[in-house]
DNA sequence: GCGAATTTGCACTCGTCAGTGCAGATTAGA
DNA sequence: TCTAATCTGCACTGACGAGTGCAAATTCGC
């Protein structure tokens, strides 16, 4: 994951000690998440990692480097999971054809599956901690954006846009800007979670996430598939209920 | 705004000195936003406020109280602006009737206006700083949620839901859950801004906000007005373009 | 087991910062 | 003008934490 450690010194150092480096990175992320950058102290990080303070300095230099490395590692981990999910968003043509006249709806099902899974990861305490730290320190460490997001949320958006383009081209969605579709799909999914989870401080029950995913997909499909292509902007075309 | 100061001591104190209190709160918010809670120092706050360190302690007690007060003040200010905006979301019936068969679309226009303005505020540096600080310190100061959000984003959502209910009842939107509609409208608007403004560190040009607002309203209306009410989940009802 | 690198515990320096105390300047109100 | 409150500048304490140095213990590769 964290692409080959910079090999602290001479030839040795890439021994069975790599797990110690990882333990330090994990501990660092935990402590930074709990206390914030300025509030975290190196001693506690060492303690949580089960390691002497000196060892932390030996492996990862000063506090700032440690922070950077810990954030990058956490970001890479989250990114890998998310990306794997987004790539699942494919609807094989056979499934579409075989249910052409039936009641099944493979596109909807697939979107809901992916949405559900994305929300699950997005609500993971680790994800929230990462997001919070990013928000917290972004003004003091602008490089974090590239290091954490450039390898995470950004590529997720791209991958998702690719899938949208495929769906649109296959006629499963109306013709649209796939980037915009991906952006709005993600917005519909994750937007509501911020308030519902109270910035990640409240655990959101599975059922509630399910609900949000369902609502997001419904709205998305209404807009990107079911809507009349040239829907008249005039209110005279309303169903005029009640 | 910040409901009558607690009147530090005896009878006096509510003199022309209230502006000094406000200056301290403003300075505190600025410094906290720049340095984070742990990284901010009282001396700098006093300096920015143009006041002696002692005066800060006299007016607002210790660092924690000051932080709480500054966040609450900033939250109230942002809330007032947002709420005033959401309440603008009304479409008077005469406008609807007079353009019944024409090309104007009062609902879309109104939604876009409100969306544009909401985005404008949402991208304000002050708003971003507040959000960032909230994310940053929420685990250490859980009360902030109630103090800042309970009086802000939460009421915005409520107000917006009220407007949605009106629109739906008036037949200008399809029958729907107004709370969900408000939630998704906000998500479509503000969701994309997080990435586009890079967590508030990049100033988003007016034109880009305009674009996002337009796209959000288009998708929202497609889903909440133009979509066929009982849109079949079967892919056989597709327009099958291209 | 041997030697080299690593790890550990401890003590130490240095800087920062919250919060307080005090004496003198300033200001508001009567 | 007089009085009482407030504001200011300055010095000070006490706590905390980053980063370093060193000698002894440990561990790894061979």
Tell me, what CATH number does B219's domain have?
1.10.357.10
Q: Are residues A38 and A155 in the same domain?
A: no
Average pLDDT across chain A, whole number? 84
Does residue A240 fall inside a structural domain?
A: no
Does residue A221 fall inside a structural domain?
A: yes
DSSP A61: -
Supply the pLDDT for residue A241.
38
Q: Cβ(B123)–Cβ(B193) under 8 Å?
A: yes
Confidence class for position B152, pLDDT limits 50, 70, 90: confident
Point out the least confidently predicted range of B119-123, B126-130, B228-232.
B228-232
Does residue B125 fall inside a structural domain?
A: yes
Supply the pLDDT for residue A239.
41
- Contact list in A for residue B153 (CB cut-off 8 A) is 195
The shortest C-alpha distance from A77 to chain B (Å) reads 19
Residue B15's nearest nucleotide, by CA–C1', is: C28
Point out the least confidently predicted range of A18-22, A42-46, A110-114, B139-143.
A18-22
Q: What's the average model confidence in pLDDT over B148-176?
A: 89
Supply the pLDDT for residue A101.
57
pLDDT surpassing 60 at residue B8: no
Q: Are residues A54 and A170 in the same domain?
A: no
Determine if strand D comes within 7 Å of the CB of A11.
no
Instruction: Render pLDDT for A168-221 as a digit per residue (tens, 0 to 9).
Output: 999 999 999 999 999 999 999 999 999 999 999 999 999 999 999 999 999 999
pLDDT surpassing 70 at residue B109: yes
Does residue B96 fall inside a structural domain?
A: no
pLDDT surpassing 80 at residue B51: yes
Does residue B220 fall inside a structural domain?
A: yes
Q: Are residues B81 and B40 in the same domain?
A: no
Supply the pLDDT for residue A149.
84
Range among A93-97, B12-16, B68-72, B86-90 rated most confident = B68-72
Say if the Cβ atoms of B216 and A154 lie within 8 Å. Answer: no
Q: Copy the structure tokens of residue B62.
A: 């210790």
Does residue B232 fall inside a structural domain?
A: no
Confidence class for position B124, pLDDT limits 50, 70, 90: very high
Q: What's the average model confidence in pLDDT over A42-52?
A: 95
User: The domain containing residue A24 runs over which residues?
Assistant: 18-61
Instruction: Render pLDDT for B183-206 as a digit per residue (tens, 0 to 9).
Output: 999 999 999 999 999 999 999 999
DSSP A226: I
Q: Are residues A55 and A76 in the same domain?
A: no
Q: Are residues B166 and B214 in the same domain?
A: yes
Share of chain B above pLDDT 90, in %: 65
Point out the least confidently predicted range of A92-101, B24-33, B66-75.
A92-101
Q: Is B150 exposed, middle or buried (0-12, 13-18, 19+ CB in 10 A)?
A: middle
pLDDT surpassing 90 at residue B93: no
Residues with Cβ < 8 Å from A167, sequence gap 6 or more? A91, A107, A173
Q: Are residues B144 and B168 in the same domain?
A: yes
Q: Are residues A185 and A222 in the same domain?
A: yes
Q: Are residues A45 and A131 in the same domain?
A: no
Q: What's the average model confidence in pLDDT over B203-219?
A: 96
d(CA A109, CA A214): 10
pLDDT surpassing 80 at residue B226: no
d(CA B4, CA B36): 27
Q: Are residues A118 and A210 in the same domain?
A: yes
d(CA A49, CA A23): 5
Supply the pLDDT for residue A85.
81
Q: Are residues B163 and B196 in the same domain?
A: yes
Say if the Cβ atoms of A38 and B38 lie within 8 Å. Answer: yes
Q: Are residues B83 and B203 in the same domain?
A: yes
Determine if strand D comes within 7 Å of the CB of B8.
yes
State how many domains chain B has: 2
Does residue A3 fall inside a structural domain?
A: no
Domain holding B40: CATH number? 1.10.10.60
Q: Are residues B47 and B121 in the same domain?
A: no
Terminal-residue alpha carbon distance, chain B? 57
Supply the pLDDT for residue B98.
60
For A42, B23, B31, B75, the CA distances from B133, given in Å and listed in that order, are 23, 19, 11, 11
pLDDT surpassing 80 at residue A77: yes
pLDDT surpassing 90 at residue A82: no
Say if the Cβ atoms of B136 and A136 lie within 8 Å. Answer: yes
Does residue B80 fall inside a structural domain?
A: yes
Residue in chain B nearest A152 by alpha carbon: B195
Q: Cβ(A217)–Cβ(A111) under 8 Å?
A: yes
Confidence class for position A11, pLDDT limits 50, 70, 90: very low
Supply the pLDDT for residue B2.
34
């Amino acid at each position: 994951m964290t692409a080959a450690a910079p090999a602290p010194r001479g030839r040795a150092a890439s021994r069975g000690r790599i797990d110690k480096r990882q333990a330090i990175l994990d501990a660092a992320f935990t402590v930074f998440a709990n206390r914030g950058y300025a509030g975290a102290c190196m001693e506690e990080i060492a303690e949580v990692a089960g390691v002497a303070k000196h060892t932390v300095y030996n492996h990862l230099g000063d506090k700032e480097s440690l922070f950077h490395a810990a954030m990058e590692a956490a970001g890479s981990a989250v990114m890998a999971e998310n990306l794997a999910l987004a790539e699942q968003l494919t609807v094989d043509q056979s499934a579409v054809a075989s249910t052409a006249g039936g009641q099944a709806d493979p596109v909807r099902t697939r979107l809901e599956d992916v949405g559900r899974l994305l929300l699950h990861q997005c609500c993971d305490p680790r994800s929230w901690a990462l997001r919070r730290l990013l928000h917290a320190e972004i003004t003091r460490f602008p490089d974090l954006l590239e290091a954490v997001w450039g390898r995470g949320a950004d590529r997720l958006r791209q991958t998702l846009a690719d899938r949208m383009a495929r769906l649109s081209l296959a006629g499963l969605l109306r013709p649209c800007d796939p980037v915009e579709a991906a952006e709005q799909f993600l917005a519909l999914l994750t937007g509501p979670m911020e308030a519902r989870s109270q910035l990640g401080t409240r655990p959101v029950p599975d059922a509630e996430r399910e609900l949000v995913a369902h609502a997001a997909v419904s709205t998305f499909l209404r807009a990107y598939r079911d809507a009349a292509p040239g829907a008249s902007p005039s209110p005279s075309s309303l169903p005029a209920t009640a």
